[in-house]
Amino acid sequence: MALCPNSVTIDDFNDNIVYSGPWQAFTNQTYGFNGTRHVANTPGLSANFKFNGSCIFVNGIVGTNNTFPMPPTTFILDGHFTQMNLSVTDGATFPGTRFAQSVLYIALTISEGEHELIITDIGGNSSSPLQIDGFIITPLQQTSTSSSAAASSITSSTSSSESTAVPTLTSSSASATPTLALASSSSSHSHTNAIIGGVVGGVGGFLVLAALGFFALRYFSKRKGGAESGMHHL
């Protein structure tokens, strides 16, 4: 159906439809979708349909030439009163019968997700029964496909991130070891150089002191020799 793209038809015997009260159920009919229909002849009878979609039509059956018209009926979608139909026009007539399929209710602008539609007959009788033939909805097949694709993309992205994270962490850990080794090696060299410097400095100092002592001894020896020579001349 053009107004409900990618739509599917739900038969009135579907398990998602709960009928409250003494509805009459017909099968093997010469008219109606799948040859079935549910009929309410008493005010107050209701049908509760839960569906997952974004568009809905309610198909019913009325008599041609204003016979067996639709009774006053209320439609409550997701707890909100949306419409009360007093009558509908004839739709496509079923061949060889005086009945026609007609659209009883339409909701085209509902949000995607789970919904509940309650249909209540408020004026039906044997001359004007409420006859439900089925529902047309646009299911959330495309949304589910997109969600699966998105979930797959997220999983793929996560796996990719995790796979690249491992080498990054390993690389970081590997580079940390040489860095620590270099720091330890540098400290060891510095300590060794300090020891060598201390030894060289100590030896140098000793040599300087020895040289000073040597020159001092020579100086005093010369002075002593000069003094003794003077005394001999006297």
- CATH label of the domain that carries residue 16: 2.60.120.260
Q: Which residue has the tokens 């707890």?
A: 79
Q: Where are the beta strands (DSSP E) in 130-209?
A: 130-139
Residue-wise pLDDT for 83-103, tens only, equals 777 656 556 787 878 788 889
φ, ψ dihedrals at 223, nearest 5°: -65, -40
What is the reported pLDDT for 26?
96
Residue 183 placed within a domain = no
Residue 234 placed within a domain = no
d(CA 61, CA 88): 10
Burial degree of 89 (CB within 10 A; 0-12, 13-18, 19+): exposed
Residue 70: domain span: 8-139
What is the reported pLDDT for 56?
94
Number of structural domains found in the chain: 1
What is the reported pLDDT for 73?
93
Residue ranges of the alpha helices (H) in 58-140? none
Using only the alpha carbons of the chain, give its radius of gyration. Answer: 53
HSE, side-chain direction, 13 A CA sphere, residue 170: 6
What is the reported pLDDT for 224?
55
d(CA 168, CA 125): 77
**Cβ neighbours for 47, distance < 8 A, ≥ 6 positions apart:** 17, 18, 19, 20, 23, 38, 40, 118, 119, 132
Residue 115 placed within a domain = yes
What the block records as the tokens of 83 is 């419409």
Residue 133 placed within a domain = yes
Residue 177 placed within a domain = no
Residue 82 placed within a domain = yes
Q: pTM surpassing 0.75? A: no
What is the reported pLDDT for 201?
61
Low-confidence stretches of the chain (pLDDT beneath 70): 1-2, 86-91, 141-234
Residue 171 placed within a domain = no
Residue 70 placed within a domain = yes
Q: Find how far residue 102's CA is from the centre of its chain.
A: 41
Taking residue 182's Cβ as centre, other Cβ atoms within 10 Å add up to 10
d(CA 9, CA 14): 10
What is the reported pLDDT for 10?
96
